[in-house]
Amino acid sequence: MKVILGALALTFVVFFGGDIGGRGGGSHSGAASVVEVGDTNFTVHQIGRELNDQIQRASRFTGRQLDTQSAIQAGLLDQTISQLISRTLFDQAAQQFGVTTPLEAASAAIRALPQFQGPSGRFERGQFESFLLHNNQTEAEFVNQVRLDLMRTQYLDTIRAAAAAPAPLTDTIFKRRGERRTAEIVIVATLPDARVGEPDAVELGNFYNANRTAFETPEFRVATVARLDVETLAHEMVIPEEDLREEYELRGNEFVQPETREISQATFLSRNDALRALALIEAGKTFDKAAEEVSGLPPVVLVRISRNDVPVAELANAAFALDLDVISEPVKSDLGWHLAEVSEIVPGRTIPFNEVRDTLRNELATEEARDAIFEVLNDVEDGLAGGASLGEVARDSNLTIGRIEGVARTGQLRDDSTDAAVTPELVKRLFSIEQPGITETIESRGGGFSVIRLDEIIAPRIPSLNEVREQVITAWQAERVAAQAEETAQKIADRARGGEPLESLAGEFGATFEKTPAFDRSADGSTFSTELITAVFEANLGEVIQQSLTDGAAVAKLIDIEPADMLDPAREEISAALTGQIANDLVTQLAEALRNDIGVDVDRNALEDAFQIQ
């Protein structure tokens, strides 16, 4: 039940109509269906509500408000339809299978949802009704949906319960993951100040010829970019003074700051305990010391809190009736008995218009800019379609225009500078253009847009040695430094294989020695690179190995192998994870089988028209 309630709390779904056992979604007001699952039909309006719910969740998760087109391009519409189809398939299969959910179970589930519980932890009817009103649902519709959710979960749990990871599979994976090894390690680091000199002309030429492809430049694209964002457009908006004052009046309650207080409150098990604490205070003890002496706990301090923010109503009423530095009489609540003391009072006030004028202006201007920016975008696209140049439409629509002198597919700028305006999306779209002269429009998540025009494609090329001489010299030196580390590591490895201890060899060659604690393949317990860990786990006990590193070389000797402890609780965790994956695979296969058996039809053309998929 906890799992079910958790799922319900996280995934409130939009109601699709009908009683359990009925047609479910159906078509409303004669609207044509765009998705049909068996005998359940869904209209564009219903898909839109579901999509909007997904967009809001994604926006909360990312911290950025997604617009509809960006969400669709990111695959959110397809994901929404897929989830809706799967849910409906399972609902119909559960009904055919004879699974039922009593009304009492749905009622209990709803009452247990934290969204509908007040400060005391009890079900609050008002919060429930507010939720229904906000989501434009009746109580019967919501209860029906919860029954469907419980029924679907019950049905799928019969599938999941049958899944179990085979013991040999679990053991094989756990033996590999749980094995731990201990090694002696010598690290020969590259020396940045190593004296390798400079190559002569022949050496440099040979090195360049052998590695010339490493110096090849990427394909660069040169482009012109015209931009407009909501913030820039908002600065241009003129908001009449009377509109600002009207907005201030309409939102009057928003600018009322309630009285706040700093309250210290102590909780006691009985009224007698509270009276004992009061007596200690009257005898000269501080509130804090008296409360701690009687209850064993110091008081809780509520800083700058309003009456509505105090979680216990009885305590709020008492504390907000007190004068400054006065101790209350014992107050009873569901949590026990309380004493309260007020140490600070900040009177409530109404923020005057002049203090919030600029904020109101910015908010209204931003709202108008969000609406107006689409008109600007339409004007820009109409202008470009009519034959105007990007420069002309940028001038006429007051866009900011700039130039990218060269950007690679990786986002690297030709001059190695940085530009925050060159986003991954811009680069992706720029490299999707097939020939110079073509423009693309990119709508940003913040509501603005950019128009990019590909001006030139600079093909990859291998520069001459003279052009990249300094780079070639630096690369040659880096290779020589790495070779020195490799040569030193080879000498250490050869002598270690002859029986000399690694620790003394490390001291002789100025390298770093370490005897590792036991570590596993995930690098838990290790302090060195994954490339060396892989090599150690491929070695035999007692074997000396040599491994190149990104910053030097290493020599290692495997000195101990600890088999996995098959009684370790981690084995059961792996078994549970594998079981979950197997159960998910079964549910996926079941959905596909139900899809073929029940039948699913998606009108992609109608969806593309309805959501204007670009």
Structural domain range at position 447: 220-238+365-458
Q: What is the CATH number of the domain that holds 106?
A: 1.10.4030.10
Strands 180-189, 552-562: pairing kind: antiparallel
Please tell me whether residues 17 and 76 are part of one structural domain.
yes
**Single residue among 427, 458, 489 that ends a domain in this structure:** 458
Please tell me whether residues 87 and 120 are part of one structural domain.
yes
Please write down the long-range contacts of 446-449, taking CB distance under 8 Å and 24 or more positions apart. Answer: 446/64, 446/65, 446/229, 446/230, 446/231, 447/67, 447/229, 447/230, 447/369, 447/370, 447/373, 448/227, 448/228, 448/229, 448/230, 448/232, 448/233, 448/373, 449/227, 449/228, 449/373, 449/377, 449/380
In this prediction, residue 18 carries a pLDDT of 31
Tokens (6 digits) for 461: 């090329």
End-to-end CA distance of the chain: 43
Residue 452 lies in a domain: yes
Instruction: State how many domains the chain has.
Output: 4
Q: What is the CATH number of the domain that holds 205?
A: 3.10.50
Please tell me whether residues 233 and 264 are part of one structural domain.
no
- Residue 173 CB contacts under 8 Å (≥ 6 apart), including other chains: 574, 578
Q: Is 37 left (phi over 0), alpha (psi -120 to 50) or beta?
A: beta
Residue 132 lies in a domain: yes
Residue 597 lies in a domain: yes
Residue 360 lies in a domain: no
Please tell me whether residues 274 and 394 are part of one structural domain.
no
| Residue of 321, 486, 443, 325 whose CA lies nearest to 71 | 443
Residue 124 lies in a domain: yes
Please tell me whether residues 421 and 332 are part of one structural domain.
no
- The secondary structure of 327-352 as a DSSP string is BPPPEEETTEEEEEEEEEEE--EEPP
Residue 321 lies in a domain: yes
Please tell me whether residues 307 and 393 are part of one structural domain.
no
Tokens (6 digits) for 203: 């050496």
Q: pLDDT averaged over consecutive 10-residue blocks of the chain (614 residues)?
A: 37 31 38 85 87 80 72 85 90 86 85 84 83 80 87 85 89 92 92 78 94 93 94 91 91 88 92 93 91 89 88 89 92 90 92 92 91 90 92 93 94 88 90 92 84 95 93 91 92 95 94 91 72 91 93 93 91 90 89 91 85 63
In this prediction, residue 16 carries a pLDDT of 28
Cβ atoms within 10 Å of 593's Cβ, excluding its own: 12
Please tell me whether residues 9 and 147 are part of one structural domain.
yes
**Single residue among 318, 347, 376 that ends a domain in this structure:** 347
Please tell me whether residues 16 and 141 are part of one structural domain.
yes
Please tell me whether residues 60 and 8 are part of one structural domain.
yes
Please tell me whether residues 224 and 207 are part of one structural domain.
no
Please tell me whether residues 10 and 87 are part of one structural domain.
yes
Give Rg (Cα) of the chain. Answer: 35
Residue 570 lies in a domain: no
Residue 353 lies in a domain: no
Distances from the Cα of 560 to the Cα of 93, 105, 183, 545, 557, angstroms: 55, 57, 7, 14, 9
Helix (H, G, I), strand (E, B) or coil at 612: coil
Can you tell me the distance from the alpha carbon of 71 to that of 358, in angstroms, rounded to the nearest whole number? 32
Tokens (6 digits) for 56: 């809001």
Please tell me whether residues 554 and 450 are part of one structural domain.
no
**Single residue among 410, 433, 458 that ends a domain in this structure:** 458
